[in-house]
Structure 1
Amino acid sequence: MSSRRRFLLAGLGAACALPFAGRAWEPAPMRVLTATDVHVRDYPTVAAVRWIGEQLTRETGGRLGLRVYHGGQLGRESDAIDMARFGAIDIVRVYSGALNNAFPLTQALCLPYVFDSVAHMRRVIDGEVGTAVLRGFEARGLVGLAIYDSGARCFYNTRRPLHTPADLHGLKFRAPPSDIFIRMLRLFGANPTPLSFGEVFSALETRLIDGAENNMRSFHSSRQFEVARYWSQTEHSYAPDVLLISRRSFEALAPDERALLLDTARRSVAVMRRLWDESEAAARQAVIDAGVHINTVDMVAFAQAAQPLLDDHLRRPGIAELYRRIRDLA
């Protein structure tokens, strides 16, 4: 852990301890939960978590609050997951691809072309599949609070339009820390380069990588569109984001506070989706206005190239059952 992050975490502990310095007759102190996100302040997931904090403070009369550290102030998503598991921070918003190796059920949400559209993905995560995935975190020190959208993930690069997998051959593409995405890129003929989200802009700018894949909102808010001028509408993944709380932090809350947090987190999904839909359309127009070239692709060719990856995962009983439920809702 970096010295900067140690300093921030030490500050969190001191800030949370201050209210307890009062006299015994003073009002009950506010407990301030900490949340982290790698995205910018106005990103829909960040705004939704801030909304949770506002509701908690209002509903508890100031007894419970939430402070959000955005923009990766507390480190990468992989670091945040570990810190939450061991109680160093309370709440994390993390991309489901970063959870695949430690929490196998999330793999079903990240397989290529498992979802047909945003509407399909939302039906799935609002139902039994979403509930099963959230329950799966309890075995390893976390509690699932909600599943958020992450839009249609597509490829973008600094070199050329991509129409078929053959156009990726030989290109170096950033891969999130997920075996699924690394193998998918290899099947498409690209050379996967695992990097954290915060490293992508400089890697594109310095030509360490030729391209990456993400949703339009992140492509715009990270300003990666300034260096990667070709966006190809592959829609190879609708893998969502997940909101988690440390199990230690959750169990330290009073029973009524736990129930309130769970309910508020579920209600925040509608808040996040409204903000997402509004801002994604604006982001797309902004990158078009900035001169980014957007092209359609041969989705059948991409899906066929990814089929061996899908076949391998469907041999795993738990994943196969979730996949069947997902496709039943298509």
Structure 2
Amino acid sequence: MLQNKRLVSLFCLVMIIALALSACGGGNNAANNEKNKNDNGAAENTPAPAPPAEGPKYNFRLAETHPADYPTTKGDMKFAELVKEKSDGRITIDVFPSAQLGEEKSAIEQVQLGAIEFTRVSSSPLGEFNKEFGVFSLPYIFDNDEHVWKFLLGDAGMKLLDSLESSRLKGLGYYTSGSRNFYSEKPLKSLEDLKGLKIRVQENQLNIAMIDALGANATPMPYGEVYSALQTGVIDGAENNYPSYFSSKHYEVAKNYILDGHQRVPEVLMMSKTAWDKLSPEDQAIIKEAALESITFQREEWAKYEKLSEEQVRAAGATITEVTDVTPWQEAVKPVIDANRQQYKTILDAIDAAR
């Protein structure tokens, strides 16, 4: 019995000593922590702050009908580059040229559905999805390149882009496609030379009305058939911009090109409204800012390509005639403008104001 009491007393003594040593050690740790805090500005065992959370990552697709070296495609690629840069690599856009994802009408429909996030199309087919864009098919509503860009980059042009939202599309910016001009194998020096000629046009009622008003005979025809039709005399002429006149080789069978600038049909860079609505306001701002910044680059690329095209067709023997006074041409198509003025009144008034 006495032995048991001694064991219990010994055990209690050991526990008292252990607790005392633990207390001393704790004091030393506290002192050490305080020293570390003084030396390093924080205790060593303080957790490091968590890194800031990254934004969501996206990989989008952009449908383009032109080849990789065409100015609109280069504009697309510049836009994609700017988006990647401004988002620190979070948002990437792959450009698919040469109609890999479908021709323009198909691409627009896919963007509406959200199957493709971006596309670049001519404003001409957009008229089927938003009637206000049909205004660009009206002839001679712009005097020159400066006039068209003053309108496009102004309030009215931006408002027109915004109107695409009703068609489940988000307009981001405009690209240039230059001016459309007439060409023929027969001499073209003035408006009078156009009279009676069979001119190929796009299958569009406004284009047909324009040709008729100018005294020529409109011949709607798919673009791919134009070269052989010119070569065989089925048609006398056609119309398009400098780069298309060159790249299609139409200058080989229609050597007279007159710079009347009857239409200036802008290109439109746009996004699926479905995809746009899923973005944060910050990412929406990145997309819009990049689109607007890419416009200058695309216009510069177009100017270089246009100059190259002119040099090439001149070297091949084409005759280029400049129209110094477009007034007679505008007067001839005035009935076409008047017949459509009420439908496009607001936009035409804005275009006139930008003149």
**Is 1:36 matched with 2:63?**
yes
Indicate the residue corresponding to 1:17 in structure 2. none
Q: 1:302 aligns with which of 320, 329, 332?
A: 329
Q: Deviations over 1:185-239 (max 9, x none)?
A: 232322231435x665565556665432221123223433333322111111122
Following superposition, the deviation at residue 304 of structure 1 comes to: 2.1
Asked if 1:50 is matched to 2:73, the reply is no
Which among 294, 312, 315 is matched to residue 289 of structure 1?
Answer: 315
| Residue 169 (structure 1) aligned to one of 185, 196, 219 | 196
Cα pair 2:176 2:267 within 8 Å, conserved:
yes
The letter of the residue matching 1:266 is: L
What is the RMSD of the two structures over their aligned residues, measured on CA atoms?
2.5
Structure-2 separation of matches of 1:50 and 1:81: 19
Which SS does the other structure have where 1:267 is aligned?
Answer: helix
CA contact (8 A) 2:200 2:226 kept: no
Gap change, CA 1:77 and 1:182, over 3 Å in 2? farther
What TM-score, normalized to structure 2?
0.76
Unaligned stretches of 5+ residues in structure 1:
1-26
Structure 1 residues 137, 208: closer, same or farther in 2, change over 3 A? Answer: farther
**Residues 1-330 of structure 1 correspond to what in structure 2 (within 5 A)?**
31-161=58-188, 163-164=190-191, 167-175=194-202, 177-188=203-214, 189-195=216-222, 200-201=226-227, 204=230, 209-297=235-323, 299-316=326-343, 319-330=344-355
Q: Letter of the aligned partner of 1:320 in structure 2?
A: K
Residues 168/63 of structure 1: CA separation in 2 closer, same or farther (3 Å cut): farther
Q: Distance in 2 between matches of 1:261 and 1:192?
A: 41
Q: Is the 8 A contact 1:163 1:296 kept in 2?
A: no
**Does the CA contact (< 8 Å) of 2:199 and 2:211 recur in 1?**
no
The answer on whether the counterparts of 1:193 and 1:209 sit within 8 Å (CA) in structure 2 is no
Could you list the per-position Cα deviations for residues 6-61 of structure 1 after superposition, in whole angstroms to 9, with x for gaps in the alignment? xxxxxxxxxxxxxxxxxxxxx99953222122222222211111011112222323
How many residue pairs were aligned?
Answer: 300
Secondary structure of the 2:134 match is helix
Deviates more, 1:92-101 or 1:208-217: 208-217
Q: Distance in 1 between matches of 2:72 and 2:254?
A: 24
Give the distance between the partners of 2:290 and 2:172, measured in 1 at CA: 9
Q: Which has the larger radius of gyration?
A: 2
Are the equivalent residues in 2 in contact too, given 1:85–1:140 (CA < 8 A)? yes
SS of 1:308's partner is helix
Report how far residue 266 of structure 1 moved.
Answer: 0.8
Distance in 1 (CA, whole Å) between partners of 2:277 and 2:66 is: 27
Distance in 2, matches of 1:283 and 1:273, equals 15
Residue identity in the other structure for 1:218: S
Deviation at 1:170, TM superposition (A): 4.5
Distance 1:178 1:85, change over 3 A: farther
Q: Does the CA-based 8 Å contact 1:99-1:178 persist in structure 2? A: no
The letter of the residue matching 1:303 is Q
After superposition, the Cα gap between the structure-2 partners of 1:58 and 1:207, relative to the gap in structure 1 and judged at 3 Å, is: farther
TM, length-normalised to structure 1? 0.81
Give the conservation status (yes or no) of the 8 Å contact 1:112–1:237: yes
Change in CA separation of 1:257 and 1:225 when aligned onto 2, cut-off 3 Å: farther
Instruction: Provide the residue aligned with 1:6 in structure 2.
Output: none
